[in-house]
Amino acid sequence: MAFKHYNFSGGIWHSPWVGLDNFRVLFSTPATIQIIRNTLLLSLLSIFVGFPFPILLAIMLNEVRAMWFKRIVQTLIFLPHFFSWIIVAGIIVTVFSQQSGVVNELWQSLFGQSFAFLYHEGSWLAIFVSSGIWKEAGFSAIVYLAALGSIDASLYEAASLDGANKWKQIWHVTLPGISSTVVLMFILSMGRVMEVGFDQVFMLQNSTVSNISEVISTYIYKIGLMGSQFSLTAAIGLFESLVSLILVVITNRIARKFGSGLW
Amino acid sequence: MKIWQRNALAAAMLPLACGVLLVACSSNNGTKEEGEGASTSASKDKGNISVTIYDRGNIPQGMGTIDNNRWTKWLNENGPVNAKYVPIPRGESVQKLNILFSSGNAPDVIEEFDANFRDQLYQQKQIIPVDDLIEKYSTTYKELMAKYPELKKASTKSDGKQYEFGRVQKLTGFQALFIRVDWLEKLGLQEPQTVEELFNVAKAFTENDPDGNGQKDTYGIALSGETGGAISTMFQDVSWVVEGGKLVHDWDRAQAAVTFKKQLYDAGLVDKDFLSDKNGQKALQDWINGKTGIFVGRTIDPLNFSTYYEPLKKNVPNAEVKAIKLPASMYGRFAVGVNNPVQMTTVINAKTKDPEAAMKYIDFMASKTTGEMLRYGTPEVDSAKNANGCYVPKDLEQFSKEVTWNNDFQLLLQQIELEPCASTASQLDASQPLQKDFIELINENNEANLSPDVQYAPITYGEHMPALPEDLKVVNTNVSTIVDFYNKAIVSGSSYGVDQAFADAKSLWQKSGGEKLEEFYLKWYDENKDTAFLAKDMWKFIQN
Amino acid sequence: MQLSASEKIMVSIFYVILVIAGLLCLFPLIHIVSLSISDTHAVASGWVTVFPVGFSLEAYKQLFAGTPILRSFWNSVQITGVGVVLSMIFTILAAYPLTRTYFYGRKLYTFAIIFTLLFGGGLIPTFLTIKSFGLLNTYGALWLPGLISTFNLLVLRSFMENIPSELDDAARIDGCGDWLYLAKIVLPLSMPVLTTLALFYGVGYWNSFFNVLMYMNDTTKYNLSVLVQQMIQSQTMLAQMNSSDSADQILLTPEEINSAAIMVMVLPIMIVYPFLQKHFVKGVMIGAVKG
């Protein structure tokens, strides 16, 4: 579909073939480079910054003794995954609002003036990434918790017999035990790079930060509003997948050098 | 090793087997008839068609489903055809319809608000021209067209043939510029008639503590949502204007509008977070909490009463509101916003087996008796005549349980034929003091929008602008980001000014191929200005 | 095991951080609960921040009486229940062979699977494919494509690979074939990850929205997610402000009903999850390698 000019009467097989035309239209748009850059920026930033959090959460939960505490916290932190971005964005906007938001009230008492967090690119980016982490870290931690559960407990005993304290145990037993999981998750998230969640960006973006907040998915949405551009969106989809493939292959190569690739 | 060989064989066979399975299944083109549908079958003489119906997920418990309920039964029993209703989710209607069309399964009669989508169907030859159909088989709709020739005007496509059916309403005020009259009185001010006066009033509203609570916590005016839109309208900032008999792209008016908004923002007269207020919710809340002095709401539907007026009075019982005219700017004085008096909604699928039946269905849906039934329910059971001689619900709760949600069956309902009972004001209860106030507001807003000293800002209602060809749609999407420059200029103080924003905007316009858009609209207007449905045609639908 | 002072401090820091994390997630939840039980007028005026203002079960009443929520709830349960069982079976059966090094063509299959992770067919081609299988308007349209999630498959495979090969050797010596090995040894040892995947699949099926809308023609087959999303949709559409359909605003669902609907969606998950947690227990592998 990406290489044809799709229309209903022709269907997929009989619509006229236009080769790379769709791609040409795509890349002639002045904003395209920026949109692609934004997509990569937002998504890579979210991945790299967000990556350690689920791991840390899982390790911390693992060390906690009180069962009831563990269960409550575990349930709580994985809930945000289920809240729709409409609501979360609404909460964020209220919290950071210039006139009545909690954050600005604090800020004002410290600096005397309110700060438009959502209007400046830097702070917007920080809020974007943090909200993404907050929402998903608890859910992703589950995979790591499972991994921790399958580490042989006798390894810990052996380590402590050898005189290792908790720190050393974590470093030498826990981390290596889940290393293959970590690598796997990392490679898989590389495959998702182009997918910067539509809802999150759409709900949080506004005109002032459009330079960094316009991503592929919101752009497709706007094209879609004008009337279905099947071939164009298919072309964009294909392009996204291509980039993902390249990233995954690269990451896998690197991982293999350290002994644990996907294939 | 044997195991090795066996596994190798399995490994090779597996994909092969799957492939064969797939080919076998796909050649069996599932023409799965979806059951006999839920509609009761009537006499065998009736034709059979399928019709789309919006599904909003809001049918009360026990009332059935959107494709099988009291109303579908009534329509099938009393109508000229057996209609099978195909639910289309309202939020994803275009996507679902796309899928249905691409798989060759689309219903016969398509009812869809999105004019771009309908035009796309036309471009792809998925719908049939209906001139002959109307001529040969129609009675009701033909009469309507004779009475309201604009129905034909508004539905004729570029090849000169008619493709769409629609509904006619009288022209009324839609958006309304509300102002807190009690604040005006307290501060000794007059209704603003010009842009400068508007600014001064907003300033006074912000700085002089009109709500008397000793705190500077009020906004003069809102900037997000429809209020922001109305401020643009004040300057006729509508992108395409007629100058010297030609339809051209305007920059000056837009610049005036943005400059004014920036002045409002810099003077602190508006909510600084207006850009994050995506759907105007916060602005609405500020209004009903009595914090904003000037706000744009709506007077098009009885529900607007409980959205814009009732909650305000509950929070601030002494508030007094008036709907005023948009102040005059150097470009003229404009209407705040009106409805679309001739709205196209329906087209017929090119693959229909029984176009005559489709036409008869459309006639039936456009008829007065059907309209009354859908809107008011069964007389004496659901509704009864009130003092005005108009039908109103007998029991509001029962009415919302049984009748209110059938809106989407009314896409061919000719409201204008039901006047004077169809107007919003007649549906409110004048014996209730608050509702009486709102009736007053509706009348004021009609005055503000329809009096002879205001004009309609754009050349025609958005839906009646010509649909863009494929390649221009992309250009249009790209230039739509220009509004980001403007918004940035509004909030960035001295670091990013209006002139800079417009320089950037113009440069983006050029780079994206904006001239092609300009050419298109210029040409369209030249060729069609006498035959297209424009503002002057809209104004024919004023009624009192 | 006696903990030293520094270790005790470290663990208490963990506790503190976890408490903060928990609270950060608790507040929005309370906010939504409050919205759903507050007085309607308070919600419209935007007074509800963290705690409820006024008390009114009106939202829940309207939700249960005014919408087909019970039926969609049941549909969701069906879709999820059957879906999880089917998916787990197929995922296990697919992951295991991929771990056996003697499986001919293993690398090829793996690559093919990863390929599908990255390249999707797009809406229309996928739809046409499902249609040609005759699965339109049946739940099969949800189960078949969702049968094996590549992501989950790879995770499971990775876990299975981590099972020490000494176990495999020991089993073979005892004459144990693949099936028995899978059933008696691999699966019990993989309980944590199996539970995780069951959870992921469960959540996926429970939340499936777009597919249900596109493939189901019968509104009686809609699930809870569709119902809730339809309510929230009206909020998003209003955000576009280009809708000339006045009915779009008329039939806008008030925020408190939205919140009530979200609670109905989230509550079952909140109830089920703690029961699954006991499987994430350390030490399942204990002693497996000894002897």
Are the Cβ atoms of C214 and B96 closer than 8 angstroms?
A: yes
Average pLDDT over residues B136-149: 92
Average pLDDT over residues B28-49: 50
With a cut of 0.85, is the ipTM above it?
no
Residues B478, B468: Cα–Cα separation, whole Å? 14
A135-144, B102-111, C169-178: range with lowest mean pLDDT: C169-178
Residue A91 contacts C where some CB pair is shorter than 8 Å: yes
Residue A222 contacts B where some CB pair is shorter than 8 Å: yes
Average pLDDT over residues B199-227: 90
Nearest to A99 among B119, B271, B485 (CB): B271
Average pLDDT over residues A165-173: 77
Helix (H, G, I), strand (E, B) or coil at B455: strand
Q: Which residues of A touch C28 (CB under 8 A)?
A: 80, 83, 87-88, 91
Which is higher by pLDDT, A65 or B330? Answer: B330
Instruction: Using the predicted structure, report yes or no on whether residue B246 has a pLDDT greater than 70.
Output: yes
Residue A79 contacts C where some CB pair is shorter than 8 Å: yes
Residue of A nearest to C193 (CA): A146
Selected for mutation to probe chain B from C35, C40, C41, C45 (highest B CB count within 10 Å) is C45
Residue of A nearest to B482 (CA): A207
Residue A212 contacts B where some CB pair is shorter than 8 Å: no
Chain C from 214 to 253: CB within 8 A of any A CB: 232, 235-236, 240, 242
Residue A86 contacts B where some CB pair is shorter than 8 Å: no
pLDDT score for B211: 84
pLDDT score for C226: 81
pLDDT score for B38: 39
Write down the H helix ranges in A51-120. 52-63, 67-78, 85-95, 102-111
Chain B from 450 to 479: CB within 8 A of any A CB: 467-468, 470-471, 473-474, 476-478
Q: Which residues of C touch B65 (CB under 8 A)?
A: 68, 218-220
A230/chain B closest Cα distance in angstroms = 10
Instruction: Using the predicted structure, report yes or no on whether residue C250 has a pLDDT greater than 60.
Output: no
Residue of A nearest to C30 (CA): A76
CATH numbers and ranges of domains, chain B: 36-170+341-425 (3.40.190.10), 175-337+451-541 (3.40.190.10)
For residue C155, the one-letter residue type is: V
Q: What is the pLDDT of residues C135-180, one digit of tens each?
A: 888 888 888 887 888 788 888 887 787 777 777 788 878 877 777 7
Residue of B327, B264, B254, B334 whose CA lies nearest to B292: B264
Average pLDDT over residues C40-52: 80
Q: Which residues of B touch A206 (CB under 8 A)?
A: 275-276, 278, 487
Instruction: Using the predicted structure, report yes or no on whether residue C278 has a pLDDT greater than 80.
Output: no
pLDDT score for C64: 79
Share of chain A above pLDDT 70, in %: 84
pLDDT score for C152: 83
Are the Cβ atoms of B462 and C244 closer than 8 angstroms?
A: yes
Which is higher by pLDDT, B279 or B120? Answer: B120
Nearest to B67 among C46, C127, C219 (CB): C219
Are the Cβ atoms of A207 and B275 closer than 8 angstroms?
A: yes
Torsion of CA B392, B395, B399, B401, to 10 degrees: 170
Residue A158 contacts C where some CB pair is shorter than 8 Å: no
Which is higher by pLDDT, B457 or A233? Answer: B457
Identify whether the C-beta of residue B215 lies closer than 8 Å to the C-beta of residue B319: no
Q: Phi-psi category of B428—alpha, beta or left, where left has phi over 0 and alpha has psi -120 to 50?
A: beta
Average pLDDT over residues B312-317: 92
pLDDT score for C290: 43
**All chains having 3 or more CB pairs closer than 8 angstroms to chain C:** A, B
What residue spans define the domains of chain A? 36-212
Residue of A nearest to B471 (CA): A25
pLDDT score for B36: 37
CATH architecture of C60-277: Orthogonal Bundle (1.10)
**All chains having 3 or more CB pairs closer than 8 angstroms to chain A:** B, C
- Between chain A and chain C, the number of residue pairs with CB atoms below 8 A apart is 176
Are the Cβ atoms of C103 and B314 closer than 8 angstroms?
A: no
Residue C155 contacts A where some CB pair is shorter than 8 Å: yes
Q: Which residues of A touch B124 (CB under 8 A)?
A: 7-9
pLDDT score for A59: 85
Q: What is the pLDDT of residues C197-209, one digit of tens each?
A: 888 888 888 888 8
Residues B210, C277: Cα–Cα separation, whole Å? 58
For residue A56, the one-letter residue type is: L
Q: Which residues of B touch A232 (CB under 8 A)?
A: 474
Selected for mutation to probe chain C from B3, B7, B423, B483 (highest C CB count within 10 Å) is B7
Residue C49 contacts B where some CB pair is shorter than 8 Å: no
CATH architecture of A36-212: Orthogonal Bundle (1.10)
Are the Cβ atoms of B468 and A226 closer than 8 angstroms?
A: yes
**Whole-number average pLDDT of chain B:** 86
Indicate the pTM of the whole model: 0.83
Chain A from 184 to 223: CB within 8 A of any C CB: 184, 188, 191
Residue C227 contacts B where some CB pair is shorter than 8 Å: yes
Are the Cβ atoms of A208 and B488 closer than 8 angstroms?
A: yes
Residue C29 contacts B where some CB pair is shorter than 8 Å: no
Are the Cβ atoms of B315 and C45 closer than 8 angstroms?
A: yes
Residue A244 contacts C where some CB pair is shorter than 8 Å: yes
Are the Cβ atoms of B25 and C133 closer than 8 angstroms?
A: yes
Torsion of CA B162, B164, B165, B170, to 10 degrees: -90
Q: Which residues of B touch C122 (CB under 8 A)?
A: none
Instruction: Using the predicted structure, report yes or no on whether residue A245 has a pLDDT greater than 90.
Output: no
Average pLDDT over residues A7-19: 67
DSSP E strands: which ranges in B277-429? 292-298, 321-324, 342-348, 383-385, 391-393
pLDDT score for C245: 57
Residue C134 contacts B where some CB pair is shorter than 8 Å: yes
pLDDT score for B231: 95
φ/ψ of A196, rounded to 5, equals: -40, 120
Chain C from 31 to 70: CB within 8 A of any A CB: 31-32, 49
pLDDT score for B33: 37
**Whole-number average pLDDT of chain C:** 77
pLDDT score for B333: 95
Instruction: Using the predicted structure, report yes or no on whether residue B21 has a pLDDT greater than 90.
Output: no
pLDDT score for B401: 83
pLDDT score for B29: 37
Which is higher by pLDDT, A133 or C274? Answer: A133
pLDDT score for B472: 85
Average pLDDT over residues B401-407: 85
Instruction: Using the predicted structure, report yes or no on whether residue C31 has a pLDDT greater than 90.
Output: no
pLDDT score for B41: 43
pLDDT band at residue B49 using 50, 70 and 90 as cut-offs:
very high
B17-31, B136-150, B193-207: range with lowest mean pLDDT: B17-31
Instruction: Using the predicted structure, report yes or no on whether residue A84 has a pLDDT greater than 50.
Output: yes
Residue of B nearest to A9 (CA): B124
Residue A154 contacts B where some CB pair is shorter than 8 Å: no
Q: What is the pLDDT of residues B460-503, one digit of tens each?
A: 998 899 888 877 887 888 888 888 899 999 998 888 999 999 99
Instruction: Using the predicted structure, report yes or no on whether residue C87 has a pLDDT greater than 60.
Output: yes
Q: Which residues of A touch B468 (CB under 8 A)?
A: 226-227
pLDDT score for C102: 72
Average pLDDT over residues B331-352: 93
Average pLDDT over residues C222-242: 64
Tell me which range, A95-99, B119-123, C225-229, is most confidently predicted by mean pLDDT.
B119-123
pLDDT band at residue B183 using 50, 70 and 90 as cut-offs:
very high
Residue A8 contacts B where some CB pair is shorter than 8 Å: yes
Selected for mutation to probe chain B from A94, A107, A206 (highest B CB count within 10 Å) is A206
Cα–Cα distance list, C156 to B410, B481, C88 (Å): 53, 45, 10
pLDDT score for A4: 66
Are the Cβ atoms of C243 and B4 closer than 8 angstroms?
A: no
Instruction: Using the predicted structure, report yes or no on whether residue B22 has a pLDDT greater than 50.
Output: no
pLDDT band at residue B18 using 50, 70 and 90 as cut-offs:
very low
Q: Across the strands, what pairs with B51?
A: B85, B109
pLDDT score for C288: 45
What residue spans define the domains of chain C? 1-56, 60-277
Three-class SS string for chain C? Answer: CCCCHHHHHHHHHHHHHHHHHHHHHHHHHHHHHHHHHCCHHHHHCCCCCCCCCCCCCHHHHHHHHHCCHHHHHHHHHHHHHHHHHHHHHHHHHHHHHHHCCCCCCHHHHHHHHHHHHHCCCCHHHHHHHHHHCCCCCCCHHHHHHHCCCHHHHHHHHHHHHCCCHHHHHHHHHCCCCHHHHHHHHHHHHCHHHHHHHHHHHHHHHHHCCHHHHHHCCCHHHCCHHHHHHHHHHHHHHHHHCCCCCHHHHHCCCCHHHHHHHHHHHHHHHHHHHHHHHCCCCCCCCCCCCCC
Q: DSSP character for B451? A: S
pLDDT band at residue B12 using 50, 70 and 90 as cut-offs:
very low
Which is higher by pLDDT, C136 or B293? Answer: B293
C14/chain B closest Cα distance in angstroms = 36
Selected for mutation to probe chain A from B258, B465, B470, B477 (highest A CB count within 10 Å) is B477
